[in-house]
Amino acid sequence: MFSLKNKSAVITGGGSGIGKAISLLFAQQGANVHIIELNKEAGASTVDEIKSAGGTAFSYTCDVSKQQNVVDLFNSIGGIDILINNAGIAHIGNVETTGQDDFDRVMNVNVKGAYNCLFAAVPLMKANNGGVILNTASIAASVGITDRFAYSTSKGAIHAMTLSVARDYLQHNIRCNCISPARIHTPFVDGFIAQNYAGREEEIFEKLSKSQPIGRMGKPSEVASLALYLCSDEAGFVTGCDYPIDGGFITLNN
């Protein structure tokens, strides 16, 4: 079950965190993995890890907010069976403390970047008689998170994009879903805590962990396992859905 043998998977932000975990697992399951990363070294490192384990992977340095660059890159890759729209950035602030430049920066990467990849991938999938798209949304698309105005807005857009694409391309055998993680323990989380709470790292990590009712942060590998199911043939009847993976945050945190 859950074989991706001979399938071509494009994964944005595949050099670290959730994107890296998805890249590793998809390669393990037989996919030819194409990682799109702004961080050249991170992308190359993931590719090396995949190849060392006997998998097939390639890395490309690209800013997903630049549409023509994205289109050219996708066309050079060719036939695409799976797109994982995972690249994204965060921002802390409410509407009063979120400046225009900050807002534009988040929208350019999180929203326009996903749109650009969809714009480039969908015609290739249509020509390939179908495909699967998985977008990374967030619990912030469904519930209010303190001081995440721009980020929440961007993830709400991802959720809406998912529904729109799922509806528009039913007849082309293209499925589109999204996942909504809560806090996942990635290098980004460790860096955020170190930068903003120097000397209190252990205390803050514990606090953030316990904000999930299950009592801990999620693991990137757990998100990757959900992504694998949704992109596999076993999920062929699933489209237009959002899947929270949140340790009970949305429904039990009251």
In a domain, 70, yes or no: yes
| Residue 125 reports pLDDT greater than 70 | yes
> Alpha carbon 141 to chain centroid distance?
14
| Residue 197 reports pLDDT greater than 80 | yes
Catalytic residue among 151, 169, 229, 243: 151
Average pLDDT over the chain, rounded to whole?
96
Give, rounded to a whole angstrom, the gap between the first and last alpha carbons of the chain. Answer: 37
Cα atoms in the 13 Å half-sphere on the side-chain side of 138: 25
- Give the phi and the psi of residue 71 in degrees, each rounded to 5: -60, -45
In a domain, 148, yes or no: yes
| Catalytic site includes residue 115 | no
* Same domain? 202 vs 155: no
What CA–CA distance (Å, rounded) separates 123 from 143?
33
Note the pLDDT of residue 254.
60
Residue 157 belongs to domain with CATH number = 3.40.50.720
In a domain, 254, yes or no: no
Q: 191: pLDDT confidence band, cut at 50, 70 and 90?
A: confident
In a domain, 101, yes or no: yes
Q: Which domain holds residue 19?
A: 8-182+220-246
**Which residue has better confidence, 192 or 82?**
82
Q: 77: pLDDT confidence band, cut at 50, 70 and 90?
A: very high
* Same domain? 110 vs 168: yes
Note the pLDDT of residue 195.
85
Note the pLDDT of residue 19.
98
In a domain, 116, yes or no: yes
What CA–CA distance (Å, rounded) separates 71 from 207?
42
pLDDT per residue as tens digits for the range 209-229: 999 999 999 999 999 999 999
| Helix extents (H) in 53-128 | 67-77, 100-106, 113-127
User: Stretch 138-153: mean pLDDT, rounded?
Assistant: 95
pLDDT per residue as tens digits for the range 34-76: 999 999 999 999 999 999 999 999 999 999 999 999 999 999 9
Number of domains in the chain: 2
Decide if 227 contacts 178 (C-beta within 8 A): no
| Residue 101 reports pLDDT greater than 70 | yes
Using alpha carbons, select from 82, 235, 240 the residue that is nearest to residue 159. 240
* Same domain? 237 vs 192: no
DSSP 40-90: HHHHHHHHHHHHHTT-EEEEEE--TT-HHHHHHHHHHH---SEEEE-----
